[in-house]
Chain A
């Protein structure tokens, strides 16, 4: 009897340790069975992007036969938590992490990242557009390398089928845009049954708003880098956006559900959605739609007199300090950032190139005739500023919902309060230079 019991206990203990053992072993192991060293590359889930990462990895493996690059992807919603845990953890860590620039400060702030090697840092200074590199710098040192120029402003996905059916042409001016939007949209209570022009989701709202301020010749960044939305231009732009909701051209559902507006356009529930060019890939891959037949990507009509907008870097690559293969990881990033490879990656992901030398790349223009109109406006962009843009969006979007929901008409007061809150709470705690 006693034996039986002890053996049962042992059995449980063994299964437990077996399970535990298996798990940790496979994580610690860096050398695979064929003697190659493995580099683990983390990214978020996005079909075309992951495909492209894997392609670059394959190319790298060909040139460096002793190395294997394993690409692992995570849903975006949990991705930042995963990076955070990976940086904390002593095992199971990735060697290269693709990160959204807006989230990078949280990681750069801690000292868990490896510095960008000198040769690469020199290229960042010389050949990269300023808005892309700003966020990756701490006290004069770079901790990440941008892969793209992120532009959430400038282009919109349009539902060609709906436009054709209604017999309307794509709007060319801001006034046309608003009137088309009003004409086609249909509202029922809180909920839009058909949306006209959409820019109200977590990502796009603030980018469009800032562009609208800057295009009027206004500014939201003060001399000391503090934020002030409560300028005449800022108030005018905000009233314009709030009126889109109040006129029933779109609703707040994407903001409350944390989803992107372009989904509506792909689902035939909206006509136009302002979004970065990367969303083209979502339409062709995730929704299996055809560019040119089901949808197209066209310029968003300018709101003000001159072209201007603000941009917050873009996705970049970092190497954590706890990586066992830091040097090789940087070699991989150098390989990745090489203009020839980078341009292919940008093309594959519908991204805009971050390097000045790629702005007039024939290869890019040829491959991306639909979005090359954006290359011309890239030099007009300014960096969004030394802010944690995710937290900034939280505050900004909450203020916006309040403005739309309540009959509060004190737009100036709301903007003032939000500016102050953002300046206080979201400014990056370390200095860039």
Chain B
């Protein structure tokens, strides 16, 4: 399911944040903390004044802030955010609580049901539709209408991720660059192939998979059609320019592009060009298979490459990274962590101020130095860290990040009754992949079903 896909990526990345931090070592951190010119750790009056961007923050406000699985690894970082925020807006108190990912969605639901939600919470954008549909979240587009210069600092596609009914209900926090292709250089050589032979489109992947299996007996890749799937059919069709979304959220699949695109997946499975367990695999399985040397390629966000290292350092030694596989649109997306604010918070200005503070350039740039994630705020990229290829996190990818983020295009649609739509999409995918319906039949059924669900 799409929800789980985002969450899985998140869990993996958060797990890695810890290891990343451990690897970066406390010396680097100590150096930054001791650096008097570091505005995050040692803010001066000028910094505090520049961070005070929201008017009318309620005097004496006490707001609750929930983060997702950041404690204990990032306790110092979050505590410093809270200290900086309270110094920026004197009189405002922040009660920070970290909630493990596993229970977060249920806990947010329960808090809304009980009428006691956090003022600011970090959630997956995929959960936004549910809360927005029930009118529980602050309309960020409306809230930011007074602050167009602040709004412009954010990566547009990140801001609109998870938008419901054309409205954004979140402030984007940190980003993961989703679309890269890891490949095993030793296996590639063994197959008599070069980096120029790597596929860049799904059509090319089908040919490439056939070549690798015939010439050297390796699977080119596995896919993950199971839960937390990267291979979510609706996104796949959208990025292949095969879906038209109408104003009332009904969809029309564009034929023959849609059927042809789905046929590629069917071919990969039917012709045994990918392992059959791809039907139920998740993204972690794809990484594991690559780590075991079973496959040549892994579709991966760079910050997850460390998983390969943890699984099998030998394969990691042979690992190189290329541009990701795209649909016919050529577009790539970024994964987003969202900060939402309760619609009926007692302190709307303080809550919004905190969401913007957590995502301001200095605060986000510091977070990127701790972990292989990237800021949603363009201002953060002016930090020299992002131009350097020495030390820190993902040094080879870092200089590419700004362009990637700037050109990213998050096209995923959030439907009314989104979970039911996702279930219908999953079932249609399985019908086609198992050969119980032709791609065209599966898509016709899906189109009818989606349009029924969104019009309920």
Q: Do A and B bind each other?
A: no
